[in-house]
Amino acid sequence: MVKDVQPKLVNDEQQSLGALKQYGGYILSAIMLVLAGYFGWSYWQKHGGNIDTAAANDFAKIQSDQNNIETLTTQAATDTKAQAQLTTAQTNLDKDLSEFVAKHDNSVYTWQALMLQAKQQTDKNDLKAAAATLQKASQLTLKDDGLKAIAILRQAQVLLSDNQADAAQKRLQSPLPAAFEASKLEILGDIANQQGDKKAAATHYQKAWQLIEQRNQNNPNPQDRALLRIKMESLGLSVKQPDLTGGVLAKPTQAEKTAPAAAIASAPAVASSTK
């Protein structure tokens, strides 16, 4: 259970934020893989496999772009030629994403393309464009509340990163499935934290954590939102880490521990929104 807020030593807070920077990138990648797998299969089941085959075929080009970028990213660390190729590959991905979205205006693949396009825009710090892209993703008529919720939550995060706390809070007023309440509360905590209201932030984080604990009670694969735990610890909250034996996230390898850090402002509360 979450204890009351107690002041912590500055060193403790620095250690918590350091851990967030150390593991942030790993946690983001791992949770996004789980999320993509869950919602992809959920959508397939719900719609009986009635997927837009034309969009699926065109999306294969985007997947090829991504695979090429992953390969070149590894090579670019030691090969200057690969660095130039990587820049070209990223430009090609941007172009293919724009063409895909223009051609396919309403399919699950369009949603995936828009989410990827928003990530590309966020990586370039074009937050206003990313927010507009996520708005478009949330307005697709896919008859899947989960996909819409992910776009809304991610848009709120982008707005907050763009110092639009009021707009982010307003975006979260949209109705969301109950399964996403913990993610919504976490982002509300982020908003309050950015506005300097530590008490409200702690309250939102506590409520989010309590929902996660309730969900884990009957879940053979418990969740551990490590980023949320670290945010709570930085406010003086003491949080018990769930037993992850057989759970959603495995312990990071040494290589993953040394991966580039993710900034606190871009921490993916939404990404851990699996049911």
pLDDT at 258: 43
Which of 224 and 206 is assigned the larger pLDDT?
206
Residues 108 and 117: their CA atoms lie apart, in Å, by 14
Q: Based on the structure, what is the number of domains in the chain?
A: 1
> What is the band of 247 on the pLDDT scale with cuts at 50, 70, 90?
very low
Whether 63 maps to a domain, the answer reads no
Whether 265 maps to a domain, the answer reads yes
Give the pLDDT mean for 86-108: 92
Whether 96 maps to a domain, the answer reads no
pLDDT at 265: 35
Whether 234 maps to a domain, the answer reads yes
Query: Cβ(198)–Cβ(235) under 8 Å?
Result: yes
Whether 210 maps to a domain, the answer reads yes
Q: What is the 3-state secondary structure (H, E, C) of the chain?
A: CCCCCCCCCHHHHHHHHHHHHHHHHHHHHHHHHHHHHHHHHHHHHHCCCCCCHHHHHHHHHHHHHHHHHHHHHHHHCCCHHHHHHHHHHHHHHHHHHHHHHHHCCCCHHHHHHHHHHHHHHHHCCCHHHHHHHHHHHHCCCCCCHHHHHHHHHHHHHHHHHCCCHHHHHHHCCCCCCHHHHHHHHHHHHHHHHHCCCHHHHHHHHHHHHHHHHHHHHCCCCCCCCHHHHHHHHHCCCCCCCCCCCCCCCCCCCHHHHCCCCCCHHHCCCHHHCCC
Q: For residue 208, is pLDDT > 90?
A: yes
Q: Report CA Rg, the chain.
A: 19
Q: For residue 229, give the CATH number of its domain.
A: 1.25.40.10
Residues 46 and 38: their CA atoms lie apart, in Å, by 12
Residues 155 and 142: their CA atoms lie apart, in Å, by 18
Q: For residue 231, is pLDDT > 60?
A: yes
Whether 53 maps to a domain, the answer reads no
Entry pTM: 0.71
pLDDT at 2: 45
Q: For residue 271, is pLDDT > 70?
A: no
Whether 77 maps to a domain, the answer reads no
> What is the band of 194 on the pLDDT scale with cuts at 50, 70, 90?
very high
The whole domain housing 25 covers 10-45+104-272
Residues 14 and 54: their CA atoms lie apart, in Å, by 51
pLDDT in tens, 107-119: 889 999 999 999 9
pLDDT in tens, 145-186: 999 999 999 999 999 999 999 999 999 999 999 999 999 999
Whether 83 maps to a domain, the answer reads no
